[in-house]
Amino acid sequence: MGQYANQPDFITNDIQAVTPVLAANLTAADSLNGSVLYIGNSTGGSLQVIPAGTTGASVVTELVSPGYAGSGGSGYVQGTEYDLLGGSGTALAAEFNVVNGAIVSVIDITSGTTGGYLNGDLVTVDGGDGKATLRVVASPGLPGAAQAVEFDNVPQGEWFPVVVDYVLADNTTASGIIAGK
């Protein structure tokens, strides 16, 4: 069966050699953006990949007012780091701008940005009158070793049948890997 006229082959652009990256050093720049892989050398080797579309734990990027009266609470002190309670995660803390005892804005999120929080979680500031409430703004984080899939005895000289975003060096022994889209 042949290819139809006016239809390119399945990989026609963005063909590049792949250098596997350690999971601990993974950055967004390492993404292969949903590529297929050609395995040049394997001889019974293994390949550790993160499938296309996989994300890691959410990263808290901002804390905002939920927009209702009284959400700033009272009795808070400027320049103090407060723990945040509730929501889907753990260990979130921040420092706030305080006016007349009420929280008006966030100075710095000091810890817990990858502690399992979800976008939209409501958290309460521990301290003061305990009534200051903030909404978590979170975005998907980069995947890591926990999201990786390892394949053993990958075939040499063939296209790998899984679309991937990352190739990890942690347990990859196959070499001569080419990515294409």
Across the 181 residues of the chain, what is the mean pLDDT of every consecutive 10-residue run?
52 82 94 93 90 91 91 95 93 95 94 86 96 94 93 90 95 93 83
Q: DSSP label at 3?
A: P
Q: DSSP label at 21?
A: B
Cβ within 8 Å of residue 51, ≥6 positions away: 149, 162, 163, 164, 165
What pLDDT, in 10s, does the model give residues 3-36? 555 544 555 667 889 999 999 999 999 999 999 9
* Radius of gyration over every alpha carbon of the chain, rounded to an integer in angstroms: 23
